Amino acid sequence: MIRRIAVTLAGPVVSVLLALLVTTLFLTIGGYSATSAYEVMWNYGIEPASLVSALNNAVPLYLAGVAAAFALRMGLFNIGVDGQYRVAALAGAVVAANLPLPLYLRLPITLIVCCVTGALWALVPALLKVYRGVSEVITSILMNAIATTVVAILLADVFRSGGGQNTGTAIIGAEGAMPVLIDLGIGNRTSITGFLVVAIVVGILFYLIQYRTVFGFTLQVASRSPEAAESAGIKVNRRIIWAMLGSGAIAGLVGMPHVLSTAFRFDGTLPTDLMFTGLAAALLGRSHPIGIAVGAFILAFVERSSQVLGLVQLPTEVGSVFMAVILLSSAVGYWLTERADQRVALWNALRRRRRETPPPAAPLPTGMEATR
Amino acid sequence: MSETAEPDVLVRLTGIVKRFGTFVANDRIDLTVRAGTVHAIVGENGAGKSTLMKILAGEERPDEGTIEIAGSPRTFSSPRDAQQAGIGMVHQHFLLASALRVWENVVLADEPGSAFRLDSAAARSRVADLAARNGFEVDVDAVVRDVGVGGRQRVEILKVLYRDARIIILDEPTAVLVPSEAASLFAAMRRFTDAGAAVIFISHKLDEVLDFADEITVIRAGAVVGQTTPAESSASDLAGLMVKVAMPAVAPRTVPPGSDVVLAAHGVTVGEAGELPALDDVSLEVHSGEIVGIAGVEGNGQSELLMALLGRVAHTGRISLAGEDIDGLPTETRRARGLAYIPEDRHRDGVVLSMALRENAALGYHGRPPVKRGPWFSRSGAAAQARAIISRFDVRGGDPSTPASALSGGNQQKFIVGRELGSDPRVLIAAHPTRGVDIGAQSAVWSELTAARDRGLGTLLISADLDELLALSDRLLVFYRGRIVGALDPRHVDAQELGEYMTGVRTSAGPAAPSSPSSPSEGDAA
């Protein structure tokens, strides 16, 4: 138990420390004082408005992280989260603006449409992997490029609302937007989005499906030992398809906090690269729903607090560097701790065997006892 | 034969040891191969023949021992080094780029021309010339995908010849060939030795070894157990050396077997179109309360039979479980209907090493209570299953939360046997149930199998361990080249006779003359 917790924590701690180290080096070589930079960032980051902003920004990162983790637990890299959420966000924006239903029906339907759209977009790489053996990494990246084009065409020719410079879908009114969860009322922009609830629900569902259902168990077996899965009657190919569908469905929600709480329409301001940060959160959190939440918040916090650096003549790229190193080192840290963990397990097994083997006569009588 | 004329030694291996983890694949092997001779290495699958050849070909590095080529000691850090020393290996499973042409495959990685330009014309003509000189009928412009198995093997040999190999290793070259192709292969081998090369070929088919080899080395369980020549030995001598000869005392059974058929296969065939089927028209029946043993050198269709019964490979023919056809059913349904399975390789598909025993207890039983409760995976149910297996089958070294990897092999095996027997199945397919386990675990597993048999379980037992087959089986079927070549009574057969059936020297049609090269393919299913 202690070992499990240590292994779970070691990865993220190693990667955050590595990221701090590299960022410090980066600042020092650039002739800046790292300590003062961190001090400014921290002071700005813990302001209530910053914390609320970090929390709101963490929500889409969390969703992206959980989406990536859903596929990761089946051993698949869904690099197509970006494309999936962009297509889904467009569909969601259209439904939210046009569905003639009250909010309590319109909002759930909007979110379901997003999930279905994202899942369908993820189905393509899954089918190609199962039937043609193409790596899901390659195809889902290609699907991102296709998504960009498809969304641009649909936005320009079909769903564009208004004329002139206007390049967005119709505005979503209060009847279709996500309500504010709490408005702290301490200065401007301190309202927490209702998507926090969505994220929590998704996290709980992720946990239940992956850790508590027979389906989650079969996913684990299929990813760790496809041969054992097949012999146990678990169809690995079907698990691949379901894992990608689940991942795509969650990914479909990633763009919606922006559409339903910030822009109130689909337009060019939708962030296009939430996946990599989300993937970093998933790796930091070792694909565990709570770990990913912590990872997403740390990343959103760094992103937010690094914005202040521009005001004090320090490079704002510090945030990006930090995040890039986290993404790199979380993979490395993960790998390192995994290796260390396996070493320890192997070592224990060998030691146990060495203890068991020398007296071959001793274990025999009880070994025979199983005869009865 | 010719070793007196050409006494010079091309290859001398001394004290070769190769370990994989705790498993010793090669245990102090000495081997001497002379120029101008065909040297056969025989032994069962898993005896360590291929490992030894991979060491000679530079693909594996020995843990101990020395390699001398033409008198000078060598260490190979890559297959490239071995190639430069004049060693070429033709693998059992061909290593060809199927999208490339024949000549392209042959010159691959040693293309004539400069670093930036491939001299296609020169390459093509050199390959065509090489093929013509060696009497190989092969279209050098054909795409390898369209070339048959025999042709692909000739391409592999051309690859070796193209690199001027003087020592040619063929790993089970005739396994995929029909007799006429095999005959032309042996003719080609003789031409190489006449030109002063040495041919080492791996086989467990004794008739062809006796016909074509000049010298024979027998390997069993990683060690050399005999060195001889065809003139000095017979097929039954070799069979006796290859398989362990020890007769156990057979415990007489007290409960008679039932009369109802619980598992039946009719004309089951598994294989790719255009190749020799790995499992060829096999029919068998298992009654309740009966253990039917499958004997045979590994790789003669047993694995394919397992996969077909389990529903993991496409097959023709009919399979029925307790009187009902199960051909169209997926593995999951077959298992739910009472088919239990002890896999041949526990690490591959018996347990998931990184998972706890709790999860491993649920493996294959995840679709039914107590593990499945509604859609939920019941950890407590799975843990209770694991605990029951651990206590009933005396599994040591862990509790339900211990990962399977922490258990010793014997305890892992006991856990698997316990899991499969604990579900009260109707039919058990047990493949090598005591492979690699110590005596204590072995006798525990044996007594569980016989106890389940007495309760009415029908068991199909596949094993490489003759002691096990003779001790447990009520009937014995012998597999050779994907067919059943003998149905024997284990009480009235000795290991010698069994070994002859297993190596194709004898079939139920009666003892065949060991010198006839086509004898194994003439014998038909019993």
- Number of alpha carbons in the 13 Å side-chain half-sphere of residue A351: 6
B109 closest CA partner among B141, B83, B128: B83
Here the tokens at position B371 are 């593990």
Average pLDDT, chain B: 81
CA dist A272 and A100 (Å) reads 29
pLDDT tens per residue, range B397-425 = 778 888 887 777 778 888 898 888 888 88
Which residues partner with B19 through β-bridges? B24
| In the predicted structure, residue B351 carries a pLDDT above the cut 80 | yes
pLDDT tens per residue, range A178-203 = 778 777 776 666 788 888 999 999 99
Collapse the DSSP code of B213 into the 3-class scheme (helix H, G, I; strand E, B; otherwise coil) and give the result: coil
CA dist B266 and B285 (Å) reads 9
Greatest Cα-to-Cα distance within chain B, rounded to the nearest angstrom: 78
Collapse the DSSP code of A248 into the 3-class scheme (helix H, G, I; strand E, B; otherwise coil) and give the result: helix
Interface of B with A in 314-353 (CB under 8 A): 330-336, 341, 343, 348-353
Yes or no: say if B15 and B64 are a contact pair by the CB < 8 Å rule: yes
Angstrom distances, CA of residue B383 to CA of B347, B370, B371, B387: 21, 10, 9, 6
A233·B331 Cβ contact <8 A: yes
Percent pLDDT > 90 in chain A is 21
pLDDT confidence of residue A187: 61
A221·B352 Cβ contact <8 A: yes
B405 touches chain A (CB under 8 A): yes
Mean of the pLDDT values across residues B80-98?
86
pLDDT tens per residue, range A215-273 = 999 998 998 888 888 888 888 889 999 999 999 999 999 989 988 888 888 888 888 87
* Phi/psi at A82 (5° precision): -55, -50
B400 touches chain A (CB under 8 A): no
pLDDT confidence of residue A241: 93
Our separate counts of H helices and E strands in chain A read 15, 2
Q: How many angstroms separate the CA of residue A142 from the nearest CA in chain B?
A: 25
Pairing verdict, β B38-42 and B64-69: unpaired
B348 interaction partners in chain A (CB closer than 8 Å): 225, 227-228
CA dist B318 and A103 (Å) reads 59
A125 closest CA partner among A114, A138, A106: A138
DSSP state of B403: B
pLDDT confidence bin for B99, thresholds 50/70/90: confident
* Phi/psi at A25 (5° precision): -60, -45
B392·A352 Cβ contact <8 A: no
pLDDT tens per residue, range A123-179 = 999 999 989 888 888 998 899 999 989 988 888 887 777 766 667 777 887 787 777
Within 8 A by CB and 6+ apart from A318, the residues are: A23, A26, A27, A37, A41, A306, A309
**Nearest by CB: A232 against B363, B408, B443:** B363
pLDDT confidence of residue A252: 92
Strand extents, DSSP E, chain A: 180-183, 191-193
pLDDT tens per residue, range A296-322 = 898 888 888 888 887 877 777 888 888
Tell me, rounded to whole angstroms, the distance of Cα B379 from its chain centroid: 38
Residue type, A198: V
CA dist A151 and A83 (Å) reads 9
pLDDT confidence bin for A88, thresholds 50/70/90: very high
Residue of B nearest to A338 (CA): B354
End-to-end CA distance of chain A: 35
| In the predicted structure, residue A367 carries a pLDDT above the cut 50 | no
| In the predicted structure, residue B522 carries a pLDDT above the cut 50 | no
CA dist A68 and B505 (Å) reads 58
| In the predicted structure, residue B328 carries a pLDDT above the cut 70 | yes
A75 interaction partners in chain B (CB closer than 8 Å): none
A213·B376 Cβ contact <8 A: yes
**Nearest by CB: B447 against A234, A353, A371:** A371
Mean of the pLDDT values across residues B269-294?
84
| In the predicted structure, residue B512 carries a pLDDT above the cut 70 | no
Strands lying side by side in the sheet with B279-287: B279-287, B261-270, B316-321, B324-325
pLDDT confidence of residue B523: 37
B440 touches chain A (CB under 8 A): yes
Pairing verdict, β B316-321 and B483-488: unpaired
Contacts 24+ apart (CB under 8 A), A90-94: A90/A151, A90/A154, A90/A155, A90/A159, A90/A169, A90/A266, A91/A117, A92/A117, A92/A252, A92/A255, A92/A256, A92/A259, A92/A260, A92/A266, A93/A159, A93/A169, A93/A172, A93/A259, A93/A265, A93/A266, A94/A159, A94/A169, A94/A170, A94/A266
B349·A228 Cβ contact <8 A: yes
